[in-house]
Amino acid sequence: MTSDTARGSQHLASGAAATSADAARLRTPSRLTRQHFALYRGYLDGVSEAQLHASYGDAGTDVRATRRLIDALRDTLSVLARRARDTEAAHLLRLRPGSIPLFEPSPAAAAVPTLDDFRERIDPDGVYGESELLALYEEEYPPNTSPALDRRVARNARLRRRQAEALARMEASLAQDPRQDHPIDGWFEPAVTARLTAAGLTTIADVIGLIEKRRHRWYAAVPRLGPKGAQRIVDWLQLHAHALQHSLSPLVLLPRRQWGPEHAALARHAAASENDALVMAPLEALRVPAALDGSRGSNRAGANARFDTDIRAIFAWLDAHSASEHTRRAYRREAERLLLWALLEKGKPLSSLDGREGAEYIDTFLPDPQPASRWVSARRGERHVSSWRPFGGPLSDRSRESARSILSAMCEWLVREAYLATNPFAGLARAASPPVFDSAGRTLDLQQWQTVLQSVTREEYTFSEHRDRLALLLAYATGLRRAELAAATTDALSVGRLRGVDGAVWRLAVDSGRSSPRTVLLPPVVVDALEENLALRGLPGPLACAAGTPVLAQARGGQPITPDGIGKIFKGIFMRAAAILDARAPGSGRHLRKVSTHWLRHTHSTHALGHGAELREVGAGLGHADLSTTSLYLQQEDSGRFLGVEKLIRHASRPKKHS
């Protein structure tokens, strides 16, 4: 038995019931796979049921399930052998282990252990085959030979050989390999088949497609199928990956937040050989033939650069210029698209592109990537699936301008690094005029802010309601990005004094990776809300919490909320506030329905500056490297920003008096 078979067979799926000639109905496989025969071969070889269950059994069951499967296989094989008029196989395959001993000790050899006892002592893990084990046994305990004993040994050896041959005949005629176009009926348990069918899945290909589309929570689309049942189906698909000619990526069932650069499925491949076919793949998995890898590109500055191929040059640029993961993804996307276009459309390495081709890429290809079947994905897909494509559709003028700017900066850096001789994007006209920043159009006015804050204010809160209010207060008071909100932890908090402010002042350290670390101020109303939220979680005060305690936590388990989860929280808040405005005056909530998390950053800046906060201090809190960016919010000391935001929050939180 190979280790692959032993591991993979742990989750064999049994099908419909079959009836033996003279017994009650038993749960038997309606399709016999090679793993079923491997299990029964181990049983006939005398492997213990406990070991067979450990190697072949379902992890969610005990040894009794494997014992029942063995009994069902014995009856099924016997019935099928009789139907095939193979009487010998029908008889031999029903013989239980021990009924054909390979060696029978004489009565005088009472102290000599049995072969089974010898196996347990010498080979508990089942490493040796029967012939090897027998040779070791006879070497340690030479048999007392006699003509009668020799005849019995020879007879039993013949019977064991004929038994093995009978099982091989049955396997050759009955064992089936699954194919993607096979109906799921017969390959999975009837109950599982019914659940998959209820979800509209009729073939194995349908199941594979759903898994790749929905990823790690694919089973949520199948009624009454939980994670354990889903895992058994996935294990079965991985076991039969060769026969199905499809392997699920290890990342299909792993949440994106658990992906790491060290994951094997994301590892960079070595350069391909001259004969390897070039196929569409993301940058980290792209295999480029040596003739196209850029080592001999016509636009190379020379052979003395720190990197010798286009892919290595791109990764070096990404490592040098990606201060944050968000920036790295944006830069990688543009470099990846250009490299693939050069390889697949122009048939040359990126380091052979010239100015004319740079203009063609920006002005002709990006507005309409063709052929669409090669470049455009029909639906959003993860990078590790075979259907991945680098585009979601044609690029707008603003997106093309972003691509031009990023690629020109990349090639200029490669020129400075003596990798490229010239920048193919140098002097290329802008694809679009820079957008005019409209802070007013993406900011909540005071009345809208008051409506939003009042929409999350309650007399009594559930945990989720209180958490959402804390998130809103924290975002408005600090101007943090959603990724920074998601990453905020209590060990980043500190307490100090601030000139012009009575009482202690709380600060939150922020390290987004975009710029140098900074701190933001937390008004007392935000600190009060945080202390209340921690109490709801059964935690002590902010400074007494364990390291890594998230400021904003999930309702179940207290785990950090992802940046996407933060966005969903705010989208729900704004939609509910919009409904309140619409109830007062139909159509008045239209503006709030367009609000995103980033609008709170604009609102924080505009309100703080409007209340007299200093431009330099607001820019520092936002993490702006250039004050010209902060000045876009205009229509001056830390204490002005701190006290102004606190006053706006408390005013908006005050319940309105109704006449």
Q: Are 5 and 52 in contact (CB under 8 A)?
A: no
CB neighbourhood size of 104 (10 A): 14
**Block residue for tokens 């350290």:** 509
pLDDT tops 90 at residue 346: yes
pTM listed for this prediction: 0.48
* Pairwise pLDDT comparison (176 vs 466), residue with the higher score: 466
Q: Number of C-alpha atoms within 13 angstroms, CB side, residue 323?
A: 7
Out of 235-249, 416-430, 466-480, 497-511, give the one with best mean pLDDT.
416-430
> What are the residues whose beta carbons fall under 8 Å from the beta carbon of 632, sequence distance 6 or more?
437, 439
* Pairwise pLDDT comparison (422 vs 505), residue with the higher score: 422
- pLDDT bucket at 28, cuts 50 / 70 / 90: very low
pLDDT tops 90 at residue 6: no
Joined tokens for residue 636: 């001056």
DSSP state of 363: I
pLDDT value of residue 214: 83
Condensed to tens digits (0 to 9), the pLDDT of residues 521-552 reads 888 888 999 999 999 999 998 999 998 999 99
Out of 184-193, 219-228, 631-640, give the one with best mean pLDDT.
219-228
pLDDT tops 50 at residue 468: yes
Residue whose C-alpha is closest to residue 567's, from 612, 605, 598: 598
pLDDT tops 50 at residue 395: yes
Cα gap 587→128, rounded to integer Å: 79
Residue whose C-alpha is closest to residue 255's, from 235, 283, 227, 232: 227
Joined tokens for residue 596: 């995103």
Joined tokens for residue 56: 């072949």
> What are the residues whose beta carbons fall under 8 Å from the beta carbon of 417, sequence distance 6 or more?
305, 306, 313, 316
* pLDDT > 70 fraction of the chain, expressed in percent and rounded: 75
Cα gap 480→490, rounded to integer Å: 15
Condensed to tens digits (0 to 9), the pLDDT of residues 178-193 reads 889 888 887 777 788 8
**Block residue for tokens 């600090």:** 478
Condensed to tens digits (0 to 9), the pLDDT of residues 57-74 reads 766 667 887 888 888 788
Cα gap 453→497, rounded to integer Å: 28
pLDDT value of residue 578: 87
Condensed to tens digits (0 to 9), the pLDDT of residues 299-333 reads 999 877 888 999 999 999 998 886 667 788 889 99
pLDDT tops 60 at residue 460: yes
**Block residue for tokens 């919009």:** 578
Q: What is the CA radius of gyration of the chain?
A: 35
pLDDT tops 90 at residue 609: no
Condensed to tens digits (0 to 9), the pLDDT of residues 229-287 reads 888 888 778 877 888 888 887 767 777 666 654 454 554 443 344 455 688 888 888 88
Helix (H), strand (E) at residue 501: none
Enumerate the H helices of 33-145 as residue ranges: 34-44, 49-56, 63-83, 87-92, 115-122, 130-140
pLDDT value of residue 425: 95
pLDDT value of residue 591: 76
Residue whose C-alpha is closest to residue 407's, from 483, 473, 355, 482: 355
> What are the residues whose beta carbons fall under 8 Å from the beta carbon of 497, sequence distance 6 or more?
504, 505
pLDDT value of residue 25: 34
pLDDT value of residue 170: 85
Q: Which residues pair with 26 in a beta bridge?
A: 18
Mean pLDDT of the chain: 77
3-state class percentages of the chain: helix first, strand second, coil last, to nearest 5? 55, 5, 40
Condensed to tens digits (0 to 9), the pLDDT of residues 402-412 reads 999 999 999 99
